[in-house]
Amino acid sequence: MQEADDKTQANPMQHPEEQPSGADGSPKFGRLLLLLAFAVLMVVALTFGSLAYYT
């Protein structure tokens, strides 16, 4: 019974335990950075392409 009281005292709101860092669901910031760079390059290419086409 004492063990149950200790767990309640340490976690009175019954929150789930913290996930370990580096879990399988962690975001892949390298991939996101590459995707952002690709999107910026596409916008730049469209800008220069439309500028060259319409002038």
pLDDT at 37: 97
pLDDT at 55: 83
Q: pLDDT digit string (tens) for 2-28? A: 555 555 567 778 888 876 666 566 667
How far lies 19's CA from each of 7, 22, 26, 28, 51, in Å? 18, 9, 10, 17, 50
Long-range contacts of 16-25 (CB under 8 A, 24+ apart): none
